[in-house]
Amino acid sequence: MSGSEATAAELKTVDEVTRALTEWFDDRFARLQALATELIGLLRFDANDLLDLTETSRRRLKSTAAHYLADNTVVDGCGLIFAHSALGTANGHLEWWVREDETRFARYSFGVVPGADRYYDYEQHEWFIRAFNEGTPSLVGPYIDYLGVEAYVLTLTVPAEAGENRVGAVGNDIQAEDLEAELLPILLSCHSELVLVGRYDNVLFGNSSRYLPGEHVAHASQHFTRVQLLPNSHDVQLLVPIAVGR
Divide the 246 residues of the chain into consecutive groups of 10 and give the mean pLDDT of each group: 47 87 96 97 87 89 96 96 92 92 84 88 95 96 73 94 92 96 95 92 91 83 84 89 64
| pLDDT given for residue 147 in this prediction | 59
Same domain as 93, residue 50: yes
pLDDT, position 118:
84
Question: Are the C-beta atoms of 124 and 140 separated by less than 8 Å?
Answer: no
**Residue at which a domain ends, from 120, 141, 175:** 175
β-pair partners for 107 = 97
Indicate whether 97 and 219 sit together in one domain: no
Cα 232–Cα 235–Cα 236 angle in degrees, nearest 5: 100
CATH number of the structural domain spanning residue 96: 3.30.450.20
Domain hosting 197: range is: 2-10+178-241
Q: Which of 152, 175, 198 is the last residue of a domain?
A: 175
- Residue-level pLDDT at 223: 76
Predicted local confidence at residue 66, as pLDDT: 95
What is the pLDDT at residue 208?
Answer: 87
Co-location of 113 and 168 in the same domain: yes
What is the per-residue pLDDT for 2?
45
How many structural domains does the chain have? 2
Is 34 in the same domain as 147?
A: yes
∠ CA 5-69-4, nearest 5°, is: 10
